[in-house]
């Protein structure tokens, strides 16, 4: 039985910022983050004019399946929704949730390392989605990832990517410092194109166009969370888990400050202040898969 940080045979070492694929705290955090983000963006596919026209959807690095399950619930006309993730325990949680909601006939989840290949036929999906991939995709992985996304998408289908910034404008100096360490570690690990919080989001429109997508469009959402709201409470919960789950990554990248425990406590205290507020940005970039030559 491998220890949590050992890579089982035939499995590539994880590039995800939380290396331990069975980390339960990360599983819980992802469920909180999913609902927070989907609500902040006004739904699962807010920018698509007619989501009912999609028949088959793929979600890459789907986490515990919240986005895909909500998509199935919102659009009953979508017949097949498939999620892939590298973590067996995350996929098990996603399957359990789909079953509990009576959606298992339409929603399926598979363990796959999407950095190797997407194990689906060419032109199979109408929409291929990827949310928060910068947490495991390095800058040099994007060309192959975009080419695989387009391969499994039918010509004219949608390749869709959602990213956030890593450090949002807020009124807690401790949170700002924590986020700066995070940006530095992401950059050191090759996940950012430059040491800037929205570096991946800013590159996405150009990346999609450069690697073959047609009619690339983008949209920015700018949610604000204020103390006393359920969104601010959910955000605090997210950060409460994140300061633990991200610690080994910050340490590995040499970005763990000596006062990390004190800093984390200060962040959580600030997020409880009645004056706390944060104003972030979320970016959707999408384009059409081209005809194959
Ligand atoms: C930040 S989470 C985002 C989850 C989900 N997309 C969401 O937005 O709620 C990133 C997910 O990517 C998964 N992941 C990491 N490396 C992966 C890989 N090589 N192939 C597939 N999934 C991967 C992680 O296990 C994790 O569930």
Residue-wise pLDDT tens digits, 93-148: 999 999 999 999 999 999 999 999 999 999 999 999 999 999 999 999 999 999 99
Ligand 1 atom 19: residue of nearest CA: 113
Domain with 132 in it: what CATH number? 3.40.50.150
CB-CB contact of 71 with 54 (8 Å): no
Whether the per-residue pLDDT at 6 is higher than 90: the answer is no
In-domain check, residue 75: yes
User: Residue 115 Cα, ligand 1 centroid: separation in angstroms?
Assistant: 11
Atom of ligand 1 nearest to the CA of 63: 27
In-domain check, residue 158: yes
User: Residue 258 Cα, ligand 1 centroid: separation in angstroms?
Assistant: 29
User: Residue 22 Cα, ligand 1 centroid: separation in angstroms?
Assistant: 12
pLDDT in tens, 26-59: 999 999 999 999 999 999 999 999 999 999 999 9
Query: What pLDDT does residue 293 have?
Result: 75
Query: What pLDDT does residue 89 have?
Result: 96
Query: What pLDDT does residue 10 have?
Result: 57
Range of the domain at 284: 24-288
CB-CB contact of 135 with 200 (8 Å): no
Pocket test for ligand 1, best of 16, 69, 129 (most atoms within 8 A of CB): 16
For the chain, strand residue ranges (E) read 56-60, 80-85, 107-111, 125-131, 153-164, 169-170, 214-221, 224-226, 277-279, 282-288
**Tokens of residue 216, six digits:** 């690339």
In-domain check, residue 18: no
CB-CB contact of 131 with 65 (8 Å): no
> How many independent structural domains does the chain possess?
1
Query: What pLDDT does residue 165 have?
Result: 96
User: Residue 195 Cα, ligand 1 centroid: separation in angstroms?
Assistant: 22
In-domain check, residue 1: no
For 9-115, strand residue ranges (E) read 56-60, 80-85, 107-111
């Amino acid at each position: 039985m491998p220890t949590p940080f050992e890579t089982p045979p035939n499995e590539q070492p994880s590039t995800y910022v939380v290396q331990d694929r069975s980390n339960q705290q990360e599983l819980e955090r992802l469920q909180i983050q999913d609902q927070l983000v989907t609500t902040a963006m006004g739904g699962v596919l807010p920018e698509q004019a007619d989501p009912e026209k999609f028949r088959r959807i793929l979600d890459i690095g789907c986490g515990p399946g919240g986005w895909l399950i909500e998509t199935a619930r919102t659009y009953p006309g979508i017949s097949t929704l498939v999620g892939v993730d590298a973590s067996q325990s995350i996929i098990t949680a996603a399957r359990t949730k789909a079953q509990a909601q009576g959606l298992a006939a339409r929603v399926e989840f598979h363990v796959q390392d999407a950095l190797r290949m997407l194990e689906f036929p060419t032109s199979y999906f109408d929409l291929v989605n990827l949310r928060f991939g910068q947490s495991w995709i390095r800058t040099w992985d994007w060309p192959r990832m975009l080419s695989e996304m387009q391969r499994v998408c039918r010509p004219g289908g949608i390749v869709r990517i959602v990213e956030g910034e890593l450090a949002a404008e807020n009124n807690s100096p401790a949170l700002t410092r924590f986020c700066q360490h995070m940006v530095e570690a992401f950059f050191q690990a090759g996940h950012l194109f430059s040491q800037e919080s929205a570096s991946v989001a800013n590159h996405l429109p150009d990346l999609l166009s450069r690697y073959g997508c047609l009619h690339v469009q983008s949209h920015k959402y700018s949610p604000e969370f204020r103390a006393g709201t359920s969104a601010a409470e959910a955000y605090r919960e997210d950060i409460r888990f994140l300061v633990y789950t991200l610690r080994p990554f910050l340490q590995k990248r040499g970005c763990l400050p000596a006062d990390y425990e004190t800093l984390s406590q200060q962040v959580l205290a600030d997020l409880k202040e009645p004056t706390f507020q944060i104003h972030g940005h979320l970016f959707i970039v999408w384009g059409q898969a081209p005809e194959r030559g």
